[in-house]
Amino acid sequence: MLPRPVAVTRTGSGTFTLDAATTLGADPACAGVAHWLRTALSGATGLPLPGPAGPGGIALTVDPTMPAEGYHLRVRPDGIAITGGSPAGAFYGAQTLRQLLPPAVYRRAPVTAGPWTVPGVEIADAPRFGWRGCMLDVARHFLPVAGVLRLVDLLAAHKLNVLHLHLTDDQGWRIQIRRYPRLTEVGGWRAESMVGSRQHERFDGRPHGGYYSQDDIREIVAYAAERFVTVVPEIDLPGHTQAAIAAYPELGNDSGEPAAVGTRWGVSGRVLNVSDETVAFFRHVLDEVMELFPSRHIGIGGDECVKDEWRASPLAQQRMRDLGLRGEDELQGWFVRQFQQHLAASGRMLFGWDEILEGSLPPGATVAAWRGPALAVAAARAGHEVVACWDTAAYLDYRQSDGPDEPIPVGTVLTVADVRAFEPVPADLPAELRDRIVGAQCNLWTEHADSPRTVDYLAFPRLSAFAEAVWSAAGSADGFDDRLHAHLGRLDALGVEYRPPGGPLPWQRRPDAAGWPRDRADREAELAALTRNVQQS
Amino acid sequence: MLPRPVAVTRTGSGTFTLDAATTLGADPACAGVAHWLRTALSGATGLPLPGPAGPGGIALTVDPTMPAEGYHLRVRPDGIAITGGSPAGAFYGAQTLRQLLPPAVYRRAPVTAGPWTVPGVEIADAPRFGWRGCMLDVARHFLPVAGVLRLVDLLAAHKLNVLHLHLTDDQGWRIQIRRYPRLTEVGGWRAESMVGSRQHERFDGRPHGGYYSQDDIREIVAYAAERFVTVVPEIDLPGHTQAAIAAYPELGNDSGEPAAVGTRWGVSGRVLNVSDETVAFFRHVLDEVMELFPSRHIGIGGDECVKDEWRASPLAQQRMRDLGLRGEDELQGWFVRQFQQHLAASGRMLFGWDEILEGSLPPGATVAAWRGPALAVAAARAGHEVVACWDTAAYLDYRQSDGPDEPIPVGTVLTVADVRAFEPVPADLPAELRDRIVGAQCNLWTEHADSPRTVDYLAFPRLSAFAEAVWSAAGSADGFDDRLHAHLGRLDALGVEYRPPGGPLPWQRRPDAAGWPRDRADREAELAALTRNVQQS
């Protein structure tokens, strides 16, 4: 099983076999989980699994005295009992039951006639962390709804419970805002798709774009909720906003040329101005975002804001004098606070990258610590919740090996084993601040992933390793390789085009064509440049 | 509704509204259809629709005295009754019921709270043709399993019932054959992906590949069968076999250089030799294909075989002398017959492109007439079944307009209206041969479709128009534009990125970049070259 449960007791030869007579039922509290499990199992098995649960069937119940996301799973010849601390716990028990069946159970239609036998077992399990997330960047390359729903299913199969959607960036704005239609009409596409690592030589000249309508967002949110995944939206500001400025030039600083939606990777110098009108604009944007996303956390990004335009802007300099701010970092702090207050008035919590610590943010935000454990400690000390996601452990766009075949040689090497070894609690965090580490997430940036197939290659199986790092007890990686080997069979059945342990498949390999560096020095120079781009703050 | 049913009677204000109390049940004969409909409706509505059918519910029954694929649908305030001539007919009635609901019913999770109201109506319906197909070329660009299953759902939503999978070609071999692993190990990928229309300037340098494992195939076949779609496989031979020859050079003619999997579009001159060993090889291949595909029809392609290698081959010339054949066309006829006999011995029927008429093929094959109605007439006269699919009416890779924005300017212009006007029965077909036209299919070649998004753009909404041409009574296109307009709302809810009636969206548009022709004369020359490539036989 992956992630590894807290306690597993094999109870010998007494197995349970699902067949045409098997029933499946649930407490009213988890009727939705039973419906999900019936649908999930009936595709591959062809079994109806009718309710209610009868003797010798599968029964789902809730026991609120247990940890909310924990579950107990008991498989005996006379029936399967799953008890969750909440419907979410029952759902994770149901996901574990799927893993106890043959991998073909993950198919969407029958490829074998069974038998669908589950070993006799007792499992007691609960997650180590409450925030078990994956950030998906849909701005750099748009992923249509079907691909997002598929990813939700894959996250849920790994007992992850947060999908952080990076919806806006320099290179695209991906969410319909009724009040500001040009955000998607103009900001929703760019003139070039861009692939590969040397953009200038490798762009393919095709326009790229797309966005989610508000109904698309509602569908994604509702679909995820049925699988106990919370979708946390991010509207990145005040940097990473070139697409918004291209759509509404009045959001930018006077100093700039007219902006187009970005067509190169790296961080743009085009950032929002700090006028009252711009603050009001993005409060309106966040109002529509809050309508669509019930998530307690609402992301405002806050990362990598280049301050050059503010240094040259009379408006920004005047604002700083009026407010008595010392330096542009404090100005960014002021800007971010305008949204913290606005979100708080609606009962929401500000979520941002660790740059939101610059300036003076009142306690009570949630900080995604991407630049390393030191930032996590700083955020915890400052009274914030922390989601650990440093690039050296959780950036799934980083290269998986330093082999010459690796197709997307960006970042530093981050192997499956590296991700499994990810420890979200910094060693030097004072014990009394331990609870401020609410969890971790892996981050899937898509500059170099222009198709669902490439997303699969980057994400898997490292995302599986991440799931164990964030669910299972600390230091329990024993047997991980064997568990992962078995798990690859499930990914095969799910149609996930992961990177095989032996290296990329021929069609996943690095191109060997004009425009790609030919010798090692050239490649190293390229890697260094890319690593700088990604790591600059 | 689209395709338009044979007879629709609106019965006034007496509507039916689905709610939490609504039951859904079926005859044992169509329990699978009820299961499918429950799953299809419960995603968007959140309603459980439990069985069995009670008073005031939705009831599915079978009446074998009706046409097998026909159905009767009656919606009254006191219940919905769907009667099919077979489970397939009941399934089409259920698909029509979905179309009577608000478009949001096509979402996979709730985006509205309803109400889920169906107008009072009586519908009697049955298809005009029995073969209502779509050919998908997965050789030129591989479409992973999830994309194929999604297409199956879309075909079924349009009441199409055949998915013809073009599994092999010069540029790739996409089906695992246990006996010959190099077919996929070597033939399953090529060194370049290739996109755009001027390959030499536009290829993106990335390797491309992928294939379906035998379990993947079983999953696709079973998933399609549950939706009454028959998957008809095609192993193209003796031409379009460069990928196979790259994997097993002994299949080729001596005259050739060592072959690599093709990396340019157009027709390769590398073709199979006519040795006994090659015949035996492909009989073994077809044995595994027949194991996997229960379809009565098995495709062997037969199109566009360049005969130059045979003209230069002592083996081929000797074979012709031994058999008393006059010319290479007769040799191809002999070659194809080796497989017709082999398939017949397993109770299967040979299916091929209309070039199989060259040489002397015994009656009783099924011919996909792609080069025009004259070939359909010739095939019918020769005693074959005919599937109409001429390029001027059914090639969905052809450009949708002659506007400068059209992203993939190949072929001749084929608009939505052109496809809707497709008449599969040639005007000059003698009446007594009418029954030999078993139906039609649209063909989705993917030289220029390297992603599911581009497949969507090419296929929709023309595939919707095709569905009406092949299902609905001849000459009944009245109101098509209004029906299509309503149908686009369903495609939106399904996440289909179709071409809007007003032209491509900005990110669907033709690139305006180096390597693309800049002036009209240049573009016209390119179009002419491409059209020649596609049309050559």
Q: What is the pLDDT of residues A99-114, one digit of tens each?
A: 999 999 999 999 999 9
Distances (CA, A) of A370 to A150, A331, A367, A536: 26, 22, 9, 11
Question: At B529, is the pLDDT very low, low, confident or very high (cuts 50, 70, 90)?
Answer: low
Q: Are B416 and B461 in contact (CB under 8 A)?
A: yes
pLDDT in tens, B128-145: 999 999 999 999 999 999
Q: Tell me if B108 and A149 make a contact (CB, 8 A cut-off).
A: yes
Q: Which residue, A191, A206, A105, A178, is CA-closest to A451?
A: A206
Given a cut of 80, is residue B21 above it in pLDDT? Answer: yes
Residue B303 is given by DSSP the state -
In the annotation, is B468 catalytic? no
Calculate mean pLDDT across residues B426-449. 96
Q: Determine, for residues B511 and A205 on separate chains, whether the beta-carbon distance falls below 8 Å.
A: yes
Flag whether pLDDT at B185 surpasses 80. Answer: yes
Q: Is A345 on the interface with B (CB under 8 A)?
A: no
Least confident range from A201-215, B40-54, B360-374: namely A201-215
CA–CA dist A419, A392 (Å, integer):
9
Give the pLDDT confidence score for residue A513 in this predicted structure: 43
pLDDT at A411: 86
Give burial (CB, 10 Å; 0-12/13-18/19+) of A500: exposed
Q: Which residues on neighbouring strands pair with residue A59, listed in sequence order?
A: A25, A81
pLDDT, mean over chain A: 92
Res B195: pLDDT: 61
> What residue in A sits closest to B226 (Cα-Cα)?
A109
What is the pLDDT confidence band of residue B263, given thresholds at 50, 70 and 90?
Answer: confident
**So what's the pLDDT on residue A190?**
93
Q: What confidence tens digit (pLDDT) does each residue in A414-457 have?
A: 999 999 999 999 999 999 999 999 999 999 999 989 899 999 99
Q: Which of A48, A109, A505 sits opposite B35 (nearest CB)?
A: A48
Catalytic residues of A: 169, 240, 304
A62 three-state secondary structure:
strand
B219/A505 CB distance under 8 A: no
pLDDT digits (tens, 9 = 90+) for B287-330: 999 999 999 999 999 999 999 999 999 999 999 999 999 999 99
Chain A residues in contact with B140 by the CB 8 A cut-off are none
Give, to the nearest 10 degrees, the angle between helix A87-100 and helix A31-45: 20
Nearest to A511 among B205, B216, B451 (CB): B205
* Cα distance between residue B342 and residue B344, in whole Å: 5
At B175 the three-state DSSP class reads strand
How many Cα atoms sit within 13 Å of B466 on the Cβ side?
A: 33
Q: H-type helices in A117-240, by residue range?
A: 145-157, 182-185, 199-202, 214-226
Mean pLDDT, residues A506-521 taken together: 60
Burial of B117 (0-12, 13-18, 19+ CB in 10 A): middle
pLDDT exceeds 80 at position A516 = no
Q: Which of A145, A219, A263, A448 should be substituted to probe chain B, the one whose Cβ sees the most B Cβ atoms within 10 Å? A: A219
Q: CB–CB of B111 and A226 under 8 A?
A: no
Query: Which residue on chain B is closest to A31 by alpha carbon?
Result: B48
pLDDT score of A518: 38
Q: What is the pLDDT of residues A358-375, one digit of tens each?
A: 888 999 999 999 999 999
- pLDDT at residue number B202: 47
pLDDT at position A514: 40
Q: Which of B104, B207, B511 sits opposite A207 (nearest CB)?
A: B511
**Amino acid letter, A493:** A
Choose from A116-130, B204-218, B249-263 the range with maximum mean pLDDT.
A116-130
Selecting from 3.30.980.20, 3.40.50.1820, 3.40.50.1100, 3.20.20.80, what CATH number does the domain A131-536 have?
3.20.20.80
For chain B, say whether A110 makes contact (Cβ under 8 Å).
yes
Identify the residue with better confidence: A447 or B426.
B426
Taking an 8 Å cut-off on Cβ atoms, the answer to whether B206 and A35 are in contact is no
- Residue A189: closest C-alpha in chain B: B507
Contact indicator for B394, B466 with CB cutoff of 8 Å:
yes
Distances (CA, A) of A200 to A170, A204, A264, A399, A534: 17, 10, 8, 20, 17
Establish if B209 touches chain A: CB-CB under 8 angstroms: yes
Whether complex ipTM tops 0.90? yes
The pLDDT score that the predictor gives to residue B256 is 65
User: Of A58-67, B202-211, B286-295, B325-334, which gets the smallest average pLDDT?
Assistant: B202-211
> Cβ of B188 and A516 within 8 Å?
no
Band of residue B198 on the pLDDT scale cut at 50, 70, 90: very low
Run of H or E including B217: helix B214-226
Determine which of A229-238, B196-205, B208-217, B493-502 has the lowest per-residue pLDDT on average.
B196-205
Q: What is the pLDDT of residues A242-279, one digit of tens each?
A: 999 999 999 999 866 789 999 888 889 999 999 999 99
CATH of domain A7-125: 3.30.379.10
Q: Best of A108, A182, A261, A490 to disrupt the B interface by mutation (most B CBs within 10 Å)?
A: A108
Task: Check whether the bond before B207 is cis (ω within 30° of 0).
Answer: no
Cβ-proximal residues to B242 (8 Å cutoff; 6+ apart), any chain = B169, B170, B171, B259, B260, B261, B262, B268, B270
Distance of CA B105 to the CA centre of its chain: 25
Which residues 454-513 on chain B approach chain A with CB closer than 8 angstroms? 492-493, 495, 497, 505-509, 511-513
User: Of A198-212, B23-37, B304-318, B522-536, where does mean pLDDT reach its minimum?
Assistant: B522-536
Q: Rounded to whole angstroms, how far apart are CA atoms A166 and A299? A: 9
| Helices marked H in A302-411 | 308-311, 314-323, 328-345, 373-381, 391-394
Least confident window among A197-211, A242-256, A501-515, B189-203: B189-203
Domain edges within chain A: 7-125, 131-536
Quick check: A207 and B506 CB within 8 A? yes
Size of interface A-B (CB pairs under 8 A): 145
A258 touches chain B (CB under 8 A): no
Residue B139 pLDDT: 98
Please list every residue in chain B whose beta carbon sits closer than 8 Å to the beta carbon of residue A215: 104, 107, 111, 492-493
Count other C-beta atoms under 10 Å from residue B90's C-beta.
31
Nearest Cβ partner of A507 from B210, B512, B515?
Answer: B210
- What is the pLDDT, as a whole number, of residue B516? 42
Residues B437-441 have a mean pLDDT of 98
Percentage of chain B exceeding pLDDT 70 = 93
> What is the structure's pLDDT at A195?
61
How confident is the model at residue A266, as a pLDDT?
83
Contact residues on chain B for A51, CB-CB shorter than 8 A: 50
CB A87 within 8 A of CB A60: no
Mean pLDDT of B74-94: 97
Mean pLDDT over all residues of chain B?
Answer: 92
Residue A517 pLDDT > 80: no
User: Closest residue of B to A49, CA-based?
Assistant: B35
Mean pLDDT of A316-334: 96
The pLDDT assigned to A409 comes to: 76
* B253, B335, B519 from B330: Cα distances, Å: 18, 9, 45
